[in-house]
Chains A and B, each alone.
Chain A
Amino acid sequence: MSDRAYTQTFSALAKLRIPAAAKEPAIVIPAVILGILALIAILAPWLGTIDPALLDPTQRNKLPGFVGQITLADGAKAPFTFHMGTDNLGRDIYSRVVYGARISLVIGAMVAIVATALGLAIGMVAGYVRWSDGLIMRFMDGLMAIPPILLAIALVSLSRAGLTAVIVAIAIPEIPRVVRLVRSIVLSIREEPYVEAAVTAGTPTPVLLFRHVLPNCIAPLIVQATFVAASAILVESILSFLGVGIPPEVPSWGNIMSAGRQYFRIFPHNMLYPGVCIAVTVLCVNVLGDALRDRLDPKLRKRV
């Protein structure tokens, strides 16, 4: 990175004013909760969990706090408290919920990265290469005319369900909005005197895009990426809940709720814990996104 590009990137990040942000509750509280969730996801095996896929037909549908026993790897039995009860296959809900944080956070982060990276690339091309603009934007209009969840469902139905397929299926419907955002920034920046000067000086287009256009996109993209992450976590839980997402034996919060549906009337706890986890996680990401938007880009405030 050249010095100038570095300075511009730095100034975009400097708008975050990290020391000041560290005093704002709307940023600190969700950031801390998400940090704890990330720790829980990483440390899952050491948090008193057992194998989340471990079946035990003799201990099905137990209420939270049930004291039963588990079979250890060497065949010995050991007493075990099921803090959140067991599901209809005798799996420990607590372990499944803790491991479920991994899926949700990975999906949220990966979809945000994939969708913003692809949207940034496509948006820069559409904004800068004039002849491609009409073509790309009409295609994006078509993509946006398909309701996002429907598009994601159709896309997963065409591949063998797995983490990568789900990430791709959720990311594709998110791309058009990122493209539109990037394109509008590019269109306004290419009229700036310093860009015109760079063009006159003979700067090649790729260098121009990287050095002058990209740094201006960073702040709005950070905001957009948080909203993409929130929506991705929601859509993943919906896909899993409908039984079309990640394979059912994988502990994701949507899958736990999906498994709990059948016995919901008698054992509502199967749905309560993962449901609360999804709501809290998405809420934190959304609140964080709102606060970042207000901080980085007051103009965006008016948009919904």
Chain B
Amino acid sequence: MFGYILRRLVSTIPVMFIVALIVFLMLRLTPSDPAAIIAGDNANAQQVEMIRQQLGLDKPLLVQLWVWLSSLLHGNLGESFFFKKSVTSLIADRIEPTLALAAFTLVIAVAIAVPLGIFAAMRRGSLLDRIVMGFSVMGFSVPAFVIGYALIYVFAIKLQWLPVQGYSRIANGFEPWLRSLILPSLTLAVIYVALLARMTRTSLLEVLGEDYIRTAYSRGLTPLQVLVRHALPNAAVPIITVVGLGVALLIGGVVVTESVFAIPGIGRLTVDAVLARDYPTIQAIILLFSFVYVMINLIIDVSYTLLDPRIRY
């Protein structure tokens, strides 16, 4: 088991290396001059040259790659052009809202989606099943910002139950913090619920067709007992897998949601950095989010052994 975890950890190194390589090449292989784009339309030749030197773009490609990788391994993500401080501290300042939003969304999404998927599978073909599946397709089709503004319009502007925008730090009290997170989390949860409910339904339907389920029923177990004891444990692995894969959607959604709700997190930082063409910050954010995504999926892979005794490493 320990050996397996170690092997998996080592196997993420090439993936992260390739992510770093892609991020590195993106800036170097663009058809236009990246220094001129970062400098903006009003920059003179001198400023462009300065940025080129700052980025090290005047050196040979392999030297650049070496410098970039070795500074990454030292934990140095570079210096932001726009905010004039180290990218690491920039991200540290903004991690709280993003973490709170993501965690809250994950809890809401699982709490809503899994029961919905279970009901839909147990009553296959019923009205409820069709509503759940319909909602699922809708959830994939409506962009998060449209949902966000619709929620703001109804719950914050018309009903005035919740704040319109902004984020209240947890240090300033629990209730305002919670209230500031409800609408953003619901917005972000929609696509995740759509994905999870659909997967829960599919994977449960597959399990419910197995022989041992029929046997369990013939032993006189109630549907609830069959569900809890036999169906759910066997349907869990694909559901958990999708929870992990869905993190990619969550990360994309964070960028949009934080922008809609004016939450000063990493998603908002991403948009600010792109608008300011602050490339060191953009690179660092991509690396960070990809790393988080890869790690979450690693943890989920390892957790299969706990969920399914048949999986042994």
Interface residues of A (CB under 8 A from B): 138-139, 141-143, 145-151, 153-160, 230, 234, 237-238, 241-244, 257, 264-265, 268, 271, 275, 278-279, 282-283, 286-287, 290, 302, 304
Give Cα A243 to B256, complex, Å: 11
Contact with A along B156-193 (1 / 0, CB 8 A): 01000000100000000000000000000000000000
Q: What are the residues of chain A within 8 A of B26 when measuring CB–CB?
A: 154-155, 158
Interface residues of B (CB under 8 A from A): 14-19, 21-23, 26-27, 30-32, 34, 37, 137-138, 140-146, 149-150, 152-153, 157, 164, 195, 198-199, 202, 206, 242, 248-249, 251-252, 255-256, 259, 270-271, 274-275, 277, 279, 282-283, 285-286, 289-290, 293-294
| Complex partner residue of B32 from A150, A160, A278, A282, CB under 8 angstroms | A160
Q: What are the residues of chain A within 8 A of B289 when measuring CB–CB?
A: 146-147, 150
Say yes or no: B290 contacts A154, CB within 8 Å: no
Q: What are the residues of chain A within 8 A of B37 when measuring CB–CB?
A: 158-160
| Additional pairs, 16, CB under 8 Å, beyond known A142-B19, A230-B141 | A142-B21, A145-B18, A145-B290, A145-B294, A147-B249, A148-B248, A153-B270, A154-B286, A158-B37, A160-B32, A234-B143, A238-B143, A242-B255, A242-B271, A278-B143, A286-B140
**What's the minimum C-beta distance from B72 to chain A, rounded to whole angstroms?**
15
Say yes or no: B18 contacts A241, CB within 8 Å: no
Q: What are the residues of chain B within 8 A of A242 when measuring CB–CB?
A: 255-256, 259, 271, 274
Give Cα A222 to B270, complex, Å: 34
Q: Is chain A's binding surface mostly helix, strand, loop or mixed?
A: helix
Q: A147-B251, A149-B255, A154-B286 are in contact. Are A138 and B274 (CB under 8 A)?
A: no
| Complex partner residue of B30 from A149, A151, A159, A278, CB under 8 angstroms | A159
Interface centre among B16, B30, B138, B142 (most CB of A within 10 A): B142
| Complex partner residue of A282 from B27, B141, B252, CB under 8 angstroms | B141
Q: List 20 A-B contacts (CB under 8 A).
A: A143-B18, A147-B293, A149-B252, A150-B251, A150-B252, A150-B285, A157-B277, A158-B26, A160-B32, A237-B145, A238-B252, A242-B274, A244-B274, A264-B149, A268-B153, A275-B150, A278-B142, A279-B143, A282-B141, A302-B206
